[in-house]
Amino acid sequence: MNDDDAPVSAPAAVVVGAGPAGLMAAECLAAAGFAATVYDAMPSSGRKFLLAGKGGLNLTHGEPIEPFLDRFGPRRAQVEPWLRGFGPQDLRDWARGLGVETFVGSSGRVFPVDLKAAPLLRAWLHRLRASGVRLHMRHRWVGWEDTGAALALRFDTPAGPAVVRADRVVLALGGASWPRLGSDAAWVPLLAARGVDLAPLLPANCGFDVAGWSEHLRSRFAGAPLKNVALHCRAPDGRRFAQRGEFVVTATGIEGQLVYAAAALLRDGIAAAGRAIAEVDLLPERSAEFVAAEVARPRGSRSLSTHLKSRLGIDGVKAALLHELLPRETFADPAALAAAIKALPIPLLAPRPVEEAISTAGGVRFDALDERLMLRVLPGVFCAGEMIDWEAPTGGYLLSACLASGRVAGQGAAAYHNDR
């Protein structure tokens, strides 16, 4: 997707990173009349974006703006201005402008009508090029020019080393998840060396490990989904999570949509105490009183497993987890067993490695940025997307905020010449 393999020596504006945040920043710069040039280390643009769209591109979420903003947890105050300026409906209108209609699914998630990412990306790149944006792939940013000029960037390119000077720069380099797609966090030491305050990059929207499943559970149920359950947990700072959905048992622990939604609280709990408890309600549609009555009902000659299956529908992986996690004596106590069915504690010891996570937390701290997302210690250098210290669950929230932050950084970079 190179527009020109030769390095550009002095573009007016440079964007480093050809993911959604970077492309949105370039779009805003071009709309303001700047000759924007995008550089990326990968062979093509939007590789993580395309991977996210393989199962149906989840662009945003259709819920009202207040609960939408609450999904950003402790970072709501910082992210809210981005999304007030470019919210879920604005994103849908933007996609329509690219010829991509969207719909709201039964879960409230918003998708393109064809569920695909590639047509939207193609249309977007076509419009960017038509507006004068140039893209240079296989150009890896490796630091600053030796003179120390913040707006002189060094790249490794197919043609050899190159130095690019710019009037303004937007960095949209992603976090540390899925490094094979370009988000490898190689920018961390480059910014740290310039005095930028960074929070450690941590896995977000990730799975978790338990102390160790039995061989029986691993061999029989790894990959099995737990459907129609609810997960509850509490962070050390008092934040609570309670949501219905589903997740999957893995060979080492648990992962999946419901776990990802609770991941920030679980991760922070492990960091504070060395472990966290994910409490699972195996029958959220049934009251505790109903479950207790059914478990205590006389079962005659039937086995307990048969009784639980016939009276409550508990079998398969749900039954296996009860046997895995509860002491033997619990099964002889109907009240204790009923309570466990409604609140089964799964002790978690560690999040999965950041390279496996869907996204990351941490990165450039908000105190290091002004309201336009410009680095305070590097005037003229702006940041956007996942490299900033915020996080959100899956469901369209991540992509919405990445695009919105790219818009803020792009507009901030476009306005930068007015106040120098």
Helices (H), 222-358: 257-273, 288-296, 304-312, 316-325, 334-342
Decide if pLDDT at 417 tops 70. Answer: yes
- The mean pLDDT of the chain is 93
The per-residue pLDDT for 88 is 97
Beta strands in 324-374 (DSSP E): 344-348, 350-351, 359-364
Residue 9 banded pLDDT, cuts 50, 70, 90: very low
- C-alpha 194/C-alpha 377 separation (Å) is 8
**pLDDT for 184-216, tens place per residue?**
999 999 999 999 999 999 999 999 999 999 999
Decide if pLDDT at 146 tops 80. Answer: no
The three-state secondary structure class of 243 is: strand
The per-residue pLDDT for 14 is 97
Decide if pLDDT at 273 tops 80. Answer: yes
Q: Report which of 156, 157, 155, 151 is spatially closest to residue 194, judged by C-alpha positions.
A: 151
* Domains within the chain, CATH numbers bracketed: 13-203+361-419 (3.50.50.60), 208-351 (no CATH)
Decide if pLDDT at 217 tops 60. Answer: yes
Q: Report which of 151, 192, 144 is spatially closest to residue 169, judged by C-alpha positions.
A: 151
Q: Whole-prediction pTM value?
A: 0.91
Residue 149 banded pLDDT, cuts 50, 70, 90: low
Asked if 136 and 128 touch (Cβ cutoff 8 Å), the reply is no
The per-residue pLDDT for 7 is 46
Q: How many residues does the chain have?
A: 420
Q: Is 199 exposed, middle or buried (0-12, 13-18, 19+ CB in 10 A)?
A: middle
Task: Give the HSE-up count for residue 229: Cα atoms under 13 Å, Cβ half-sphere.
Answer: 27
Eight-class DSSP state of 297:
S
User: What is the mean pLDDT of the segment spanning 324-338?
Assistant: 96
**pLDDT for 20-30, tens place per residue?**
999 999 999 99
Q: Measuring CA to CA, how many Å separate 349 from each of 177, 260, 275, 276, 297?
A: 20, 16, 5, 7, 36
The per-residue pLDDT for 6 is 45
The CA-based angle 80-203-119, given to 5 degrees, is 65
Please list, in sequence order, all residues whose beta carbon lies within 8 angstroms of the beta carbon of residue 210, skipping any fewer than 6 positions away: 252, 253, 254, 346, 347, 348, 349
Q: Measuring CA to CA, how many Å separate 204 from each of 56, 67, 141, 207, 325?
A: 21, 20, 25, 9, 26
Chain-centroid distance of CA 13 in Å reads 28
**pLDDT for 73-91, tens place per residue?**
999 999 999 999 999 999 9
Q: Which amino acid is at 247?
A: F
The per-residue pLDDT for 11 is 57
**Residue written as tokens 């150009």?**
139
The per-residue pLDDT for 255 is 97
Decide if pLDDT at 341 tops 80. Answer: yes
- State the DSSP H helix or E strand holding residue 90, giving kind and residue range, or none if neither: helix 88-97
The three-state secondary structure class of 83 is: helix
% of the chain at pLDDT higher than 90: 86
- C-alpha 27/C-alpha 39 separation (Å) is 14
The per-residue pLDDT for 180 is 87
The per-residue pLDDT for 8 is 43
Asked if 238 and 298 touch (Cβ cutoff 8 Å), the reply is no
Q: Is the torsion defined by CA of 59, 61, 66, 70 positive or negative?
A: negative
Q: Measuring CA to CA, how many Å separate 88 from each of 48, 112, 239, 291, 400?
A: 20, 13, 26, 40, 7
**pLDDT for 227-255, tens place per residue?**
999 999 998 888 899 999 999 999 999 99
User: What is the mean pLDDT of the segment spanning 374-400?
Assistant: 95
Least confident of 144-148, 238-242, 381-385: 144-148
The per-residue pLDDT for 3 is 56
Q: Is the torsion defined by CA of 284, 288, 291, 295 positive or negative?
A: positive
